[in-house]
Amino acid sequence: MPDRRLPSLGERVKELRHEQGLDQRALANIVKRYVSWISQVERGELTVSDVGMLQRLAVALSVPSRELVELVLGEGAGDLERQRPYVEVLRLALAGHPAPQAALGMPQPVAPAATIDRMGSQISTCWDLVHASRFDGLGPTLASLIPDLEGASRRVEGDDRLAVFALLADSYQIAAAMLVKVGDIGAAWIAADRAIGAGERCGDQSLIMAGQLRMGHTFVNSSEDELALHVLRQAVGLAKALPGDAGPGLVSLTGSCALLLAVLEARRGYGEEAHRHLRVASGLARRLGVGRNDYGTEFGPTNVALHQVAVEVELGNAAEALRLAGKVRASGLSAERQARFLVDVARAHTQRRQVPQAIAALTEAEAIAPAEVADSRLVREILDDLEHLVHGRSVPGLRPLRRKTTHK
């Protein structure tokens, strides 16, 4: 009888790599891994169970992501990312027309003014939830709030309507931020696009810029570098034209776009461009004088310092990243930002093969923002690298972190 044994992931990756005319270094560059990592995967010495990493390999090798995901995790596992109820309920809220009854001209009850106040209070709560990485509570809240706001935007008039559009833009901003974090890039793109539209409908420049920032985050996290560069350069190009009386929200959003652009340029290996954008952001932070949290940006001098660390990590300057990290006092920022900073510290230690220090940074990050770490593909990639460095040896703290970052 014919041999029906399925190939291993390593065998399939090697086969597809050859079909694409790629050597191991070329594939490693595409998926942002070391050549030794690709080699170990192909030899079957390294297990890849992270859905995000399997999807990235599939894109690089020009096959449907489901093929590699199901090869490793079994039939039906291609839908693993969608099996989290708090993600799926939000995806459903974004699917189709956001307010079909209103669009079809069906009668809608008039919303009392208090309803707008209540929805505004819910938006504030949602910002707190996204910054705390409490996605299990955030998803259902947004899924209920977005249709309510969409309906209200078609019922109320005058200043109330503008206020609802502003809240609606905020709701889509938050949705995009959450969906990027949990790896649902397609839905995040939809949310970011709707945020830009809602901002334009209420005539708020800051909300339009906020949508640009969320769109940039979406493209960066989906490795759509050219699209991200286009969106972010559009935004940062306005920095020189900002009037002296520009509000702190617009300044913060422009600075945040500059920070994200700096990290992206560093990721592409363009250190000079990355540092130039850091200088733009630093100037805007000095203009504010203190850290603020307009539109959920947490922009200010401390946030610039955090991104300086991230840029050096992306450039492979681990020693400089750790030197800069030693000067950062991030305790005044949200749990989300503190955790992301500690993940960058862990990346720097990993680059220097300092396994205990990397584990300590990740453990601290997990204690501060468990969901931020559990849903982070980057963290799972760091753990892959650490397991490679220890060559199967038992290292305190490593196995518990792996358990906490593996989706069930």
Q: Around 61, how many Cα atoms within 13 Å sit in the side-chain half-sphere?
A: 27
Token output for 91: 């995806």
In this structure, are 97 and 208 located in the same domain? Answer: yes
pLDDT given for residue 1 in this prediction: 41
Place of tokens 């995000």: 52
Query: Per-residue pLDDT tens for 189-200?
Result: 899 999 999 988
In this structure, are 128 and 212 located in the same domain? Answer: yes
Range of the domain at 191: 84-102+110-219
Higher pLDDT, 106 or 255: 255
The torsion of the CA quartet 210, 215, 217, 222, rounded to 10 degrees, works out to 170
pLDDT given for residue 83 in this prediction: 56
pLDDT, average across residues 244-257: 88
pLDDT, average across residues 289-309: 90
In this structure, are 318 and 339 located in the same domain? Answer: no
Token output for 333: 């920022």
Sign of the torsion angle spanned by Cα atoms 382, 383, 387, 390: positive
Residue type, 391: H
In this structure, are 180 and 158 located in the same domain? Answer: yes
- Calculate the alpha carbon distances from 171 to 122, 125, 235, 256, 299 in Å: 9, 11, 21, 19, 20
Place of tokens 């989706």: 407
In this structure, are 235 and 312 located in the same domain? Answer: yes
| Burial class of residue 272 in the structure, from the number of CB atoms within 10 Å of its CB (0-12 exposed, 13-18 middle, 19+ buried) | exposed
Query: Per-residue pLDDT tens for 308-320?
Result: 999 999 999 999 9
* Best mean pLDDT range from 144-158, 217-231, 392-406: 144-158
The separation between CA 269 and the C-alpha centre of its own chain, rounded to angstroms, equals: 20
In this structure, are 238 and 159 located in the same domain? Answer: no
The domain boundary, picked from 171, 192, 219, lies at 219
- Calculate the alpha carbon distances from 228 to 53, 64, 75, 217 in Å: 20, 23, 33, 8
The total number of structural domains that make up the chain:
4
Question: Given pLDDT bands bounded at 50, 70 and 90, which one contains residue 113?
Answer: very low
Q: What is the C-alpha separation between 57 and 32, in angstroms, rounded?
A: 10
Answer whether residue 102 shows pLDDT above 70: no
* Cα separation of the two ends of the chain: 36
Q: Closest Cα to residue 51, out of 27, 18, 74, 23?
A: 74
Query: Per-residue pLDDT tens for 20-30?
Result: 888 988 888 88
Answer whether residue 51 shows pLDDT above 80: no
In this structure, are 300 and 375 located in the same domain? Answer: no
- Neighbouring residues of 144: CB distance < 8 A, sequence distance ≥ 6: 93
Q: Closest Cα to residue 259, out of 281, 276, 231, 291?
A: 281
pLDDT given for residue 169 in this prediction: 92
Higher pLDDT, 360 or 152: 360
For 65-79, 187-201, 367-381, which range has the lowest pLDDT when averaged over its residues? Answer: 65-79
In this structure, are 249 and 367 located in the same domain? Answer: no
pLDDT given for residue 15 in this prediction: 92
pLDDT, average across residues 171-194: 87
In this structure, are 212 and 88 located in the same domain? Answer: yes
Q: What is the C-alpha separation between 290 and 302, in angstroms, rounded?
A: 9
Q: Around 209, how many Cα atoms within 13 Å sit in the side-chain half-sphere?
A: 27
Token output for 355: 């396994």
The domain boundary, picked from 328, 360, 387, lies at 328
In this structure, are 393 and 319 located in the same domain? Answer: no
- Percent of the chain at pLDDT above 70? 90
Residue 41 near residue 13, CB atoms below 8 Å: yes
- Calculate the alpha carbon distances from 33 to 25, 48, 56, 117, 379 in Å: 9, 12, 11, 48, 13
In this structure, are 78 and 88 located in the same domain? Answer: no
The domain boundary, picked from 297, 328, 359, lies at 328
Query: Per-residue pLDDT tens for 90-101?
Result: 888 888 777 676
Q: What is the C-alpha separation between 348 and 361, in angstroms, rounded?
A: 10
Please report, for the domain that includes residue 45, its CATH number. Answer: 1.10.260.40
Q: Closest Cα to residue 73, out of 46, 43, 51, 42?
A: 51
H helices of 61-132, in order, are 65-73, 85-94, 100-103, 113-131
Place of tokens 């539209």: 197
Sign of the torsion angle spanned by Cα atoms 229, 51, 347, 62: negative
In this structure, are 269 and 310 located in the same domain? Answer: yes
